[in-house]
Amino acid sequence: GDKYSKNRRPDEGRGKKERKEAPAGPRVSDSSDDEDVGGGSGGDSPEEIKDYLEKQLAGVTGLESVKNMLRSLCRKMVVDQQRAKFGFVNQQNLNMLFLGNPGTGKTSMARVVARLLKHMGVLRKGHLVEVSRKDLVAEYSGQSAVKTMAKVQEALGGVLFVDEAYALKHQDSKDSFGQEVVDTLVAEMENRRSELVVICAGYTKEMSDFLRTNSGLQSRFPNVFDFPDYTYGDMAEIFVGMAEERKLQVDPKLSRDRLVELMQQSIPRSVASRGNARAVRNLVECVLTRQTDRVADKGTVSMASLLTLQEEDFPVVGDGVASGAAGGPPGTPGGQAGGEVGAIMAKLDDIVGVQSVKDLFRSLRAKITISEEKRRLGLPAEGASSLHMVFSGNPGTGKTTVARLMGELFRALRLLPQGHLVEVSRVDLVGEHVGETGPKTRRVVESAVGGVLFVDEAYTLVSDAKDTFGREALETVMKCMEDMRDELVVIIAGYPGQMDELMTRNAGLKSRFPIAVPFPDYTAAELTEIAQRMLKERQQVLSPDALRSMENVCKKQASSSDVQSGNARFVRNLLESAAMRQAERLCALPERSREQLMTLEACDLGV
């Protein structure tokens, strides 16, 4: 284990916050709960302060650029303390911005800062009070300032850590309660500068917008720390640390380089950027589950077998949690993957109509299989980015069902890890205030990573040239498609005419969605077949007269110009109404036979 980690304190390896979910309210970390932080008198020599800081940083994985910035800040504080002996008046502002993705050690490093400032005598207590918007913003006007003041009072002598600070107030929005919090914080930072250090944390872009919500904000945060995402080497080190924390060990035969490769295979970069250390913790849970199944199947109970994680316990790429490599390359008939693909194709064949979609599935299956063989031989191969699609068709023509099967196919062929479907529309992507849409859309897209994002009625995203919120949502989706190019398939869907207009109005869309899939309305014969299948599921049948009536109704519906014509929803509604009429008719009879209960008559169809 030591060959992977610097020490055996994984809890410091990017913070206790990653080790356990935070409670609902703000958390207070008092220095007395941590390891000895030294006298706090500020009387230590520069060498002793340096040694103390290095001791604190030794337990933090990676973050070399952040560590170097903190070392530089520490040196400046030491020099200022020495100058003070000769009358120098130190007015240094120590408030900080921690910028980066979640799970990159911001909270852990904030604790290090708090302990260091106490050790140097800059702060009395050195405790950390963690807050977010819900801890500061009240429900009534004038109460947000009171609530914020209470948290400032609680943090005096230590560090106030404001996580996701950009959520306090969005630039140009009319969030007066959030503005009240920001204005109060700015005033208190100035009034309490010798008793309080404030650290605001969050995404880089959103924090940049946040700083513009108050003219005094930017000048009050002179110390800016950029927290990069973990490297896969860092993740390997954290993985070992987290395993050791649970008294597990990584198989000593597994080299560090191979463990790094397993991190790359198991944690896509876009997933890592959403959680970083949290993504590693999820992987530990996954590996432990697979190891438990392996040990249980073998019936072995030795200490080494129970506590050792082996390479075979790691998930295989494209297989979600469990490996599908049971006998042949992806998509070939001999392996488990081949059998799964066959089952998916059978489901597709069972769908009424959509012959062009079925042909597309077979083409995609062949394309992905060949791309995988090319990839294994080191030849250039297209990934998921070449499979973004436009589904054009009226409602009820099977678009969502096909999209779900598409995800299952991509997972079976190991193009995507999970193959799950995330179905969204405008309301799920567009925010109500300026600055909300980008983060909201990104969170939704990130939830679809490893699977398929299905944007229904996509044309509503950009209703006209003035719809800046919708355009921002669309641009964010396209940016995420580029950033997550091999880990996500996006399908946009809607009425044919409106989708054509959307593609024409946005020049960059057509090149990003190379596959256009038309979903024609069902024919009269197909509608009749759908009706009979639905009835079979309900163990009902049509009488000969009812069948003729059904065929006539379906012909009339299929020939209508209504966009709601040839679709399955019409059939479902028709059968629901028929079931109601049948029930009323049968209730009038003194007794009813099994055949009568199962049979719909022509009069039940309302024609």
Q: pLDDT by residue (tens digit) across 286-344?
A: 888 888 888 877 766 778 778 888 888 887 654 443 333 333 333 333 344 456 777 87
What's residue 175's pLDDT? 66
Instruction: Specify the 3-state DSSP secondary structure of 200.
Output: strand
Q: Which two tokens stand for residue 200?
A: 């605001």
Rounded Cα distance, 58 and 35, in Å:
13
pLDDT band for position 564 (cuts 50, 70, 90): low
H-helix or E-strand containing 99?
A: strand 96-100
What's residue 327's pLDDT? 34
What's residue 11's pLDDT? 40
H-helix or E-strand containing 56?
A: helix 46-57
| 46-226 is classed CATH 3.30.930.10 | no
Rounded Cα distance, 448 and 66, in Å:
31
DSSP single-letter state for residue 192: T
Residue bearing the bigger pLDDT, 38 or 584: 584
What are the strands of the beta sheet with 159-162, ordered from one edge?
Answer: 27-29, 128-131, 159-162, 197-202, 96-100, 223-227
Average pLDDT, the chain: 77
DSSP single-letter state for residue 442: H
* Superfamily name and number for 383-520: P-loop containing nucleotide triphosphate hydrolases (3.40.50.300)
Name residue, tokens 């070992």. 240
Contacts of 519 (CB under 8 A, 6+ apart): 354, 357, 391, 392, 393, 394, 397, 398, 399, 402
What's residue 43's pLDDT? 59
pLDDT band for position 130 (cuts 50, 70, 90): very high
- Parallel, antiparallel or unpaired: strands 541-542 and 599-600: parallel
What's residue 270's pLDDT? 62
Rounded Cα distance, 29 and 442, in Å:
31
Per-residue pLDDT, averaged over 126-138, amounts to: 89
pLDDT band for position 19 (cuts 50, 70, 90): very low
What's residue 332's pLDDT? 39
First to last CA, the chain: 77
- Judged against a pLDDT cut of 50, whether residue 496 lies above it is answered with yes
Q: pLDDT by residue (tens digit) across 230-267?
A: 888 888 888 988 888 888 888 888 888 888 888 887 88
- Judged against a pLDDT cut of 50, whether residue 589 lies above it is answered with yes
Domain boundaries, the chain: 46-226, 383-520, 524-605
Q: pLDDT by residue (tens digit) across 210-225?
A: 777 767 777 788 888 8
Q: Which fold has domain 524-605?
A: Helicase, Ruva Protein; domain 3 (1.10.8)
Q: Which two tokens stand for residue 97?
A: 């911005």
H-helix or E-strand containing 600?
A: strand 599-600
- Judged against a pLDDT cut of 50, whether residue 1 lies above it is answered with no
Highest-scoring range by mean pLDDT, 78-92, 550-564, 580-594: 580-594
pLDDT band for position 275 (cuts 50, 70, 90): low
- Judged against a pLDDT cut of 50, whether residue 40 lies above it is answered with no
What's residue 12's pLDDT? 40
pTM of structure = 0.53
- Judged against a pLDDT cut of 90, whether residue 87 lies above it is answered with no
The amino acid sitting at 379 is: L
Rounded Cα distance, 128 and 134, in Å:
17
| Contact by Cβ (8 Å): 390, 495 | no
The amino acid sitting at 30 is: D
Taking each helix axis from N to C end, the angle separating 568-587 and 524-537, rounded to the nearest 10 degrees, works out to: 50
Rounded Cα distance, 254 and 584, in Å:
71
Q: pLDDT by residue (tens digit) across 437-484?
A: 778 888 888 888 888 899 888 888 876 667 778 788 888 888 888 777
pLDDT band for position 20 (cuts 50, 70, 90): very low
What's residue 149's pLDDT? 92
Q: 383-520 and 524-605: same fold?
A: no
- Judged against a pLDDT cut of 50, whether residue 53 lies above it is answered with yes
Rounded Cα distance, 228 and 231, in Å:
9
Strand spans (E) along 260-349: 308-309
Q: Which two tokens stand for residue 521?
A: 């309305």
Q: Which two tokens stand for residue 460?
A: 């509503």
What's residue 385's pLDDT? 56
Name residue, tokens 């929803």. 569
